[in-house]
Amino acid sequence: MTRVVIVSSGEGCGLESTVSAVRFGAVAAGADIRLRRVANTESPLDEVFEAMVWADGIVVIAASHGGAVAPPVRRLVDVAARRRERLRLPDKVVAARAVDHDGGHGAPLVPELYRGLLAWDCLLLPGSCVTTPAEDGDPSAAEALGRRLTRVARSLRAPHGPALRRAG
């Protein structure tokens, strides 16, 4: 079973509904889920990091205010970047989503979050914050994100078949 951790920070109806939708999509695609919340800039990150090591895929859902991501998420991304090898981040599939403070899903994924995630040397799903109509006819982009991340993580984790041989 593909293992996915959803890490979030912030409060509000929009953030909670996004977490629920991503979780629903990932479970529908066959993922085992762990939810972790980064409450504030002082909260220990041990449980979050433990879940990140366990996971095949990671979704970071961040509250954004005025175009800036919440400080607890900035701290998580920065500390994880410094510990990327220990956390096995280069072997992970990562997606991120920003939710604006008014609860909307239309907040752009701010450049500081992208730069931080790129420092993880992970496979970052392109367009993971895009809010255009979701794939597969599903009206929820967040659900589609959960399914997509799970599918990609599963395919990377799958054992490879035998090497191809030349015919003849």
Q: Is residue 168 part of a domain?
A: no
Tell me, yes or no, whether 66 lies in a domain. yes
Those residues with Cβ within 8 angstroms of residue 68's Cβ, 6 or more apart along the chain or in another chain: 110, 112
Give domain status of residue 67, yes or no: yes
Structural domain boundaries enclosing 124: 2-157
Residue 129 placed within a domain:
yes
pLDDT value at residue 137: 34
pTM for the model: 0.84
Please state, as a whole number, how many other Cβ atoms lie within 10 Å of the Cβ of residue 73.
26
**CATH code where residue 20 lies:** 3.40.50.360
Q: What is the pLDDT of residue 35?
A: 96
Q: Examine residue 165 and state whether it is found in any structural domain, yes or no.
A: no
pLDDT of residue 88: 92
The b/e string for 87-125 (b: 16+ C-beta within 10 A; e otherwise) is bebeebbbbbbbbbbeeebebebbeebbebbeebebbeb
- Give the residues across from 36 on adjacent strands: 7
Q: Could you list the pLDDT tens digit for every one of the 168 residues in the chain?
A: 899 999 998 776 778 888 999 999 999 999 999 999 998 878 889 999 999 999 999 999 988 777 778 889 989 999 999 999 999 999 899 998 888 765 444 455 567 788 889 999 999 987 655 443 333 333 378 899 999 999 999 998 766 555 556 665
How many structural domains comprise the chain? 1
Task: Label residue 85 left, alpha or beta by phi (over 0 means left) and psi (-120 to 50 means alpha).
Answer: alpha
**Does residue 167 lie within any of the structural domains?**
no
What phi and psi values does residue 35 have, to the nearest 5 degrees? -105, 130
The answer to whether residue 110 is domain-embedded is yes
166 found inside a domain: no
